[in-house]
Structure 1
């Protein structure tokens, strides 16, 4: 992508009401005020490392009575989802440009009803464990964000990351934990709401099995 195209997208993000990012006054004041932002008390669902927001958008279309926030650090990625939401009248969608590590500065404790982590970078090297979005430090952050009885849902094609996450969860008190190493041949199939991202389609066509889990943190 040319620099000119990126700058045009960044400019449109700054003008878009459904994009919250550094440089906007709202970015500094949104903490604890997401229901106020959406103008209702509907459930709040976030997608971590959302890319252009395929899951965020698809969930918002299927569940218009819930609010969805896609989070990613790449402005040129969330631009696409932001523009799609605006053109299709999806008022229950927002995009937050930030590093996931900053998430507690942007959401209050117990402000989120559900978290989706979909196909994150597996960060396979040992030295990169601190960047895995399902490591202990990040899971502690998600626990604080979620309301009591809130769900955490995780979907990946990477077996090693999935097994790693299961091991990390041994250090947490969780409940209602269900998981599968083959989503499309399991009783949990309906859990993904028939939403497939671009890369998910590519991997499944190559024969890769999709892994999925869901759980709640104990109070």
Structure 2
């Protein structure tokens, strides 16, 4: 969902280039060790929206680095505001297209990729835009470490069914699958970090679908 343009967010993003990379050159890999100032494990959220999920993760895990990959400048600004308020030095914001994820990260450098409430692109002619389409899976496989994995959540049953089939056809392994995440065992529910959309959808009684999947070791 596109956010309404907020001029303050655009200015904030432009004022903090050390925290936000905007439309980097896809021909040049990003030196994330230099950006973060350390070589801690990296986790990526593709399409971070307002950033509640990724900023909460960063706050809970100071020994890990997080990248919010987000195309919208307004969303990037909202995430950045939280980053600055919370002092989250282990969070970087990358304003770019998910289709270029393999250009922004070297091979075998990422531990987890989060796909939370991605656009379902329900029309068949838009299948290639879905973030679980096989061309995206190939890029994730390249970026992830051999023992890395994808964590996916959605409220859209059609996208969930499609994603399960797409990942299965690609030869991925499912480590966790749920068709009603908020009614799983207590320890699973307690560990779950809700996104803004997830809270909204769950409050309406909509089931939340989730899965964790990994690739064959390279």
* TM-score computed with the length of structure 1 as normaliser: 0.90
Q: 1:26-105, aligned counterparts within 5 Å?
A: 27-28=24-25, 31-105=29-103
Decide whether the 8 Å contact of 1:152 with 1:216 is kept in 2.
yes
Matched, 1:21 2:19: no
Structure 1: distance between partners of 2:179 and 2:4: 40
Indicate the SS of the match to 1:20: strand
Q: Deviations over 1:111-167 (max 9, x none)?
A: 111100000111111111111111111111101000010011001111110000111
Aligned to 2:112: 114
Name the CA shift for 1:2/1:67 in 2 (closer, same or farther; >3 Å).
Answer: closer
Aligned to 1:129: 127
Indicate the SS of the match to 2:150: strand
Q: Give me the CA root mean square deviation.
A: 2.0
Unaligned residue ranges in structure 2 (runs of 5+)? none
Indicate the SS of the match to 1:73: coil
Unaligned residue ranges in structure 1 (runs of 5+)? none
Structure 2: distance between partners of 1:13 and 1:207: 36
Decide whether the 8 Å contact of 2:4 with 2:74 is kept in 1.
no
Task: Give the deviation of 1:193 after TM superposition.
Answer: 2.7
Name the CA shift for 1:212/1:88 in 2 (closer, same or farther; >3 Å).
Answer: same
Structure 2: distance between partners of 1:95 and 1:176: 29
Aligned length: 213
Task: Give the deviation of 1:192 after TM superposition.
Answer: 7.4
Structure 2: distance between partners of 1:205 and 1:61: 25
Decide whether the 8 Å contact of 1:13 with 1:19 is kept in 2.
yes
Aligned to 2:147: 149
Task: Give the deviation of 1:215 after TM superposition.
Answer: 1.6
Task: Give the deviation of 1:57 after TM superposition.
Answer: 0.4
Decide whether the 8 Å contact of 1:51 with 1:72 is kept in 2.
yes
Task: Give the deviation of 1:56 after TM superposition.
Answer: 0.8
Indicate the SS of the match to 1:171: helix
Decide whether the 8 Å contact of 1:60 with 1:66 is kept in 2.
yes
